[in-house]
Amino acid sequence: MTVTDRLEALPITAGAVALGFFDGVHRGHQAVIERAVTSGVTPCVFSFTAPANAARLYRIMTDDRRMEAIGALGVQYLVMPPFGDFSSMSPERFVEEVLVGVFHAKVAVCGKNFHFGYHAAGDSDQLRALCAASGIEVRIVDPVLYAGAPVSSTRIREALGEGRMEDVRAMLGRPYTIRIQVAHGRALGRRLAFPTINQPLPPILRLPKFGVYASLAEVDGVQYPAVSNVGVKPTVGSSGPLCETYIIGYEDDLYGREVPVSLLSFLRPEQKFASVDALGAQIAKDTEAALRYCTQEGCTSVR
């Protein structure tokens, strides 16, 4: 997949363009993108990078992970400029300069709730009307439903905040996965006979509910059952939120590597213990609970 952050013409003769921010690339987003991929012309996505201080956007995934997820769907071109590069365009200018000028679009694909142009003035109906004059077919994709309501990034953020990882997995179409470089910690887990990896969590992310999770960690193509604590380690303290994971049955050094850790099920809230020994005893119980969950779900040590 070719990725660019510039609004300039692509070297294609006809594009099918999926439109949206696509935070999480959840099942609803996948339906929109897959409609472009199966259109019969060059599959493209137009998205954007939002300002780091965008008040409403505590994101489900980082931009790097979002690009990877979009590419995995078969997209050939992804144009992802900063929001400010096009946010002042009227709906008319957006169609002319982006859909026609950048993508040479023959097809534009969006969800029913898609909005575009300055102050989000344009909607999917206006997109259809404006595109008709340029010979662009507009395909509007119905929402994907889960538990009787449309899948949305807002619902996924809410489920993350409540620790409902089974619901998050169902709406994403895959487990919620943290893939961040492993950093050095205090090695306390190793002293407690539970060596852990520490992954500092970026401040832009909508974090899962602080607490302990049954999880899977992937190392060199092998998935290991694991137990993860998301939070600030109240017993011993940390400089900021992180995901600390004990990978059951794996002991080698992983510092500096990006290790995918998938949070499967919430086990208990994060808590402060009276002593390090009490913390160690609880980690042993959490490990048993996580291993039991992974065994029941059939997801232990799968290559």
Q: For residue range 27-63, what is the model confidence (pLDDT) as tens digits?
A: 999 999 999 999 999 999 999 998 766 655 689 999 9
More confident site: 232 or 192 = 232
HSE (CB half, 13 Å, CA atoms) of 126? 15
Please tell me the pTM assigned to this model: 0.91
In this prediction, residues 276-302 reach a mean pLDDT of: 81
Whether residue 268 contacts residue 222, with contact meaning beta carbons closer than 8 Å, is answered with no
Q: 162: left (phi > 0), else alpha (psi -120 to 50), else beta?
A: alpha
pLDDT above 70 covers what percent of the chain?
91
CB count within 10 Å of CB 137 equals 14
Tell me which range, 99-103, 180-184, 199-203, is most confidently predicted by mean pLDDT.
99-103
Which helix or strand (DSSP H or E) is residue 238 part of? none
3-state secondary structure of 296: helix
Give the mean pLDDT of the chain. 90
Taking 50 as the threshold, does the pLDDT of residue 303 lie above it?
no
pLDDT attached to residue 104: 97
Backbone angles phi, psi at 285, to 5 degrees: -65, -40
Distance CA 278, CA 272 (A): 10
Where does the chain show beta strands of DSSP type E?
2-4, 15-19, 42-46, 77-79, 105-111, 115-116, 122-123, 137-141, 145-146, 149-150, 176-181, 196-200, 211-219, 222-231, 242-247, 258-269
Question: Please, which pLDDT band fits residue 276 given cuts at 50, 70 and 90?
Answer: confident
pLDDT attached to residue 56: 56
3-state secondary structure of 81: coil
Taking 50 as the threshold, does the pLDDT of residue 299 lie above it?
yes
pLDDT attached to residue 302: 40
